[in-house]
Amino acid sequence: MENLMEKIVSLCKRRGFIFPSSEIYGGFSSCYDFGPLGVEMKRNIKRIWWDEMTKLHDNITGLDAGVLMSSKVWQASGHLAAGFADELVECKECHKRFKLDEIRQPAEKCPECDGVLTKPRKFNLMMKTFVGPVENESSLTYLRPETCQGIYVNFLNAANSMRMKIPFGIAQIGKAFRNEITPGNYIFRIREFEQMEMQFFVNSLINKKPRKKRETKRERNAKNWTPDDWFDYWKEERLKWYLDLGIEKDNLRAVEIPEKERAHYAKRQIDLEYHFPFGWKEIEGVHNRGDFDLSNHSKHSGQDLLYFDEESNKKYIPHIIETSVGVERILLAFLCESYTEIKGGRTKTTKAVKEVESVLKLDKRLTPVKVAVLPLVRNKPRIVKKAKEVYQLLKPHFTCQYDELGSIGRRYRRQDETGTFLCLTIDFESLENDDLTIRNRDTMKQERVKIEELVEIIKKKINV
């Protein structure tokens, strides 16, 4: 669709999804605030991911570590070394900066103006801060650039307190910060974002062994899976998750990253990419981190982080398979995927027939508002009163909106534009029969239902 990004940016501002940070002061570079509908959608994404990990998979527990950690963590993790730095080049003419890996090495010319580029130099992405009253080397630390380090340093705490046996996972959702040198594409690359990361600890002593013919992975005892088997398993699980939430197969792909382009901790890396209007881009990383993190934390802290395996009576450092995704980045992918324009005739009021109507065809689990309650007219007190009663009835059960402003056709369109799944209309008949109409966003079908059955009917329609 032409100008899709402009349309999404405009919709997000107008309809309360996303606002530029510190807007009244002219904005704050590459930081965004999430408005009333944006925060609901973000919460939906996080809840669906959390439930998927901790309820629908075996042996995964949760954690919520702090943003601030000892700076020693970042020495051990390799983030203070060259590992967590982007290579930056600057155009000598227009002074625009580019990440080297984004302009396809070796590029000698500026992609914008053909000017000569400087030699690449390293730029660390960590955000510094000081803890305590004195600003010196010993009080210096960093806002975490990835959430998973909080999991690694708590790996034994979580395992022991919950009596977890390998293979097991720890899931976490939280803020991460990166001083990106080339942020952009709206909320695709920002400086403050939320990550949803799951670290799966697996037996590192199991190596590849020949499989019996025609034996599928699911048939094999998961206890005997190698780290590579787990890597493949999680890649597939994560792809399924996106497809189940409405991402088209053609817009999703898994790309194996060659050794020299991998993150500094990764033995193997697959990027799950989405086809954004600005090209194929990573939305999630699946990494085999081997023993990189736990070995380094053990070495730097002097603590024994070995896991004791009761069955084999052996101690080992587990290997880690990680799935890591940014909430805002996939929120953008879901918006791009669901934004639809329908030319004329969707709403049958005379004015609307000629208009282009936009509909966010979000999965009903993702959509910020599930139900809108609309009195047919607002100058009939009995209709308004009944509609408000219905709104009060539904509010404890579903994310609802009450809307009485404008013609009913205009209100339907307003709700369609933000993806509201069901619109309820209270009309004159409702006063006589104690019923109302339910309109489905996608099929546009309307049906009359009794108000006393409403909560159960809506629960069925949106599967909650």
Q: Which of residues 326-385 bind ligand GAP (CB under 6 A)?
A: 326, 328-329
Q: Which is nearer to ligand GAP, 73 or 206 (CB)?
A: 73
Q: Which is nearer to ligand GAP, 284 or 403 (CB)?
A: 284
Side chain identity at residue 369, one-letter code: V
Distance CA 375, CA 406 (A): 11
Q: Which is nearer to ligand GAP, 169 or 326 (CB)?
A: 326
Q: Which is nearer to ligand GAP, 44 or 347 (CB)?
A: 44
**Dihedral class, residue 3 (left if φ above 0, else alpha if ψ from -120 to 50, else beta):** left
Q: How far is the CB of 148 from ligand GAP (least distance, A)?
A: 4
Contacts 24+ apart (CB under 8 A), 14-21: 15/417, 15/418, 17/41, 17/335, 17/368, 17/418, 18/187
Distance CA 23, CA 18 (A): 11
Burial of 370 (0-12, 13-18, 19+ CB in 10 A): buried
**Binding letters toward ligand GAP, positions 175-214, x by CB under 6 A:** ---x-x--------xx--x-x-x-----------------
Q: How far is the CB of 69 from ligand GAP (least distance, A)?
A: 14
Distance CA 236, CA 248 (A): 15
Stretch that binds ligand GAP, among 114-122, 252-260, 323-331, 368-376 (CB under 6 A): 323-331
Stretch that binds ligand GAP, among 321-329, 386-394, 430-438, 449-457 (CB under 6 A): 321-329
Q: Which is nearer to ligand GAP, 251 or 399 (CB)?
A: 251
Distance CA 191, CA 188 (A): 10
Q: How far is the CB of 330 from ligand GAP (least distance, A)?
A: 7
Q: How far is the CB of 28 from ligand GAP (least distance, A)?
A: 15
Q: Which is nearer to ligand GAP, 237 or 282 (CB)?
A: 282
Stretch that binds ligand GAP, among 104-112, 276-284, 403-411, 422-430 (CB under 6 A): 276-284
Contacts 24+ apart (CB under 8 A), 10-17: 11/339, 11/358, 11/360, 11/417, 11/418, 12/38, 12/335, 15/417, 15/418, 17/41, 17/335, 17/368, 17/418
Tokens in use for 175?
Answer: 């803020």
Q: Which is nearer to ligand GAP, 7 or 281 (CB)?
A: 281
Distance CA 27, CA 30 (A): 9
What are the C-alpha distances in Å from 363 to residues 63, 366, 372?
27, 5, 16
Contact status: 296 vs ligand GAP (CB under 6 A): no
Distance CA 327, CA 365 (A): 15
Q: How far is the CB of 430 from ligand GAP (least distance, A)?
A: 46
Binding footprint of ligand GAP on the chain (CB under 6 A): 146, 148, 178, 180, 189-190, 193, 195, 197, 282-285, 322, 324-326, 328-329
